[in-house]
Amino acid sequence: MNQKGAQGTTGFPHSRVTWRTSSYSGNGGGQCVQVGQCGGLSLVRDSKDPEGPVLAFKADSWKAALEQIKRGDFDLG
């Protein structure tokens, strides 16, 4: 996987990943996040730009981040 600094990753084999859209995205399609799994990594991308940058997290790091979000540890409002 090639990396492109803080912009995310490029050159990732998007076609080999099954992407799931966040249940919080709603039907309007405004701010959609998609998550996929590949090779022990949790991948996150913007559904409006499926060929754009992909953030890659180790699975345990992604799980910890989700737990913190669910607890309200971050001000996401």
What pLDDT sits at residue 22? 72
Answer whether 45's CB lies under 8 Å from 9's CB: no
- Residues 44-65 pLDDT 10s: 998 888 888 999 999 899 999 8
Is pTM beyond 0.85 here? Answer: no
Q: What is the pLDDT of residue 21?
A: 86
Note the pLDDT of residue 30.
62
67 pLDDT above the threshold of 50:
yes
Sign of the four-CA dihedral 72, 76, 24, 51: negative
Q: For residue 68, give Cα distances in angstroms to 4, 32, 62, 74.
A: 27, 20, 10, 7
Domain ranges, ordered by start, for the chain: 2-71
